[in-house]
């Protein structure tokens, strides 16, 4: 995991109404995974009985997992998506959160994710302000991919944020802890907009079917928590110190 020191996030942008208001937000220190969770890592969760341990799941998430008979991600047996070293996909928000809890972590808040992506200098993209090109990330110019296939987190050498996080944009969007709300809710520090686990949740970073606009660090998207398509993966985050420690 990458350590992110306490700092000030310039949250949002003026490029989309959904990314407003643009404002400064204070964040406490935290950790976030350098890379998205891979199939190899998720296989450990499966092998350890993650789909059979209700304590790892929210009550409603456990209900849905049992109702649908979930035992593995969607596409888990599809050779296009199941290489051990590429990010896991076809996971609902509930599966992602269960894995994070199993690993002793959680999902990043939307603000944590954005800060890890743009850094203290508020880059437009993780690598800076240079416009995307096919040598920088796995995305689809004009949303028309030549080939839709996953890449490993280290495939694009410059797709690294100022904090050393790889593959934050392109390839797969990533689940965040927050529920989605049009525009931002005002919060001066450590914001988390969590109102209803059954409501739509934020995803960040775009994917191999999205165009370059979704690669901006401030770009937002949202999906119902039960979506298990090959659009979304995730990475985990953790508090830097136990609550109450000074």
What CATH number corresponds to the domain at position 207?
3.90.1580.10
100 contact partners, CB below 8 Å, separation of at least 6: 106, 107, 234, 236, 237
Question: Does this model's pTM top 0.75?
Answer: yes
Query: Quick check: is 131 in a domain?
Result: yes
Query: Quick check: is 245 in a domain?
Result: no
Q: What's the pLDDT tens digit per position in 179-205?
A: 999 988 767 799 999 999 999 999 999
Q: Say whether 17 sits in a helix, a strand or coil.
A: helix
Query: Quick check: is 229 in a domain?
Result: yes
Query: Quick check: is 244 in a domain?
Result: no
Query: Quick check: is 246 in a domain?
Result: no
Domain coverage including residue 14: 2-239
Domain count for the chain: 1
- CA-nearest of 98, 9, 28 to 240 is 28
Q: What's the pLDDT tens digit per position in 28-43?
A: 999 999 999 999 999 9
Query: Quick check: is 79 in a domain?
Result: yes
């Amino acid at each position: 995991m990458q350590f992110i020191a306490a700092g000030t996030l310039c949250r949002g942008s003026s490029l989309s109404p959904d990314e407003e208001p643009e404002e400064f937000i204070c964040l406490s220190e935290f950790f976030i995974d350098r890379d998205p969770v891979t199939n190899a890592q998720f296989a450990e969760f499966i092998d350890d009985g993650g789909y059979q341990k209700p304590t790892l799941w929210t009550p409603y998430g456990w209900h849905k997992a049992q109702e649908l008979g979930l035992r593995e991600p969607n596409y888990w047996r599809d050779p296009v998506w199941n290489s051990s070293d590429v990010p896991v996909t076809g996971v609902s928000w509930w599966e992602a959160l269960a894995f994070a809890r199993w690993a002793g972590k959680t999902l990043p808040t939307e603000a944590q994710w954005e800060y890890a992506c743009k850094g203290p200098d508020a880059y437009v993209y993780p690598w800076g302000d240079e416009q995307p090109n096919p040598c920088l990330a796995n995305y689809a110019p004009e949303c028309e991919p030549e080939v839709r296939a996953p890449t490993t987190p280290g495939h694009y050498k410059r797709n690294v944020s100022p904090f050393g996080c790889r593959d934050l944009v392109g390839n797969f969007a990533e689940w965040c802890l927050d529920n989605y709300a049009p525009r931002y809710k005002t919060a001066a520090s450590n914001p988390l907009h969590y109102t209803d686990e059954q409501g739509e949740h934020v995803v960040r970073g775009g994917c191999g079917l999205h165009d370059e606009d979704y690669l901006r660090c401030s770009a937002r998207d949202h999906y119902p928590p039960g979506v298990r398509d090959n659009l979304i993966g995730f990475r985990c985050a953790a508090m830097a110190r136990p609550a109450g420690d000074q």
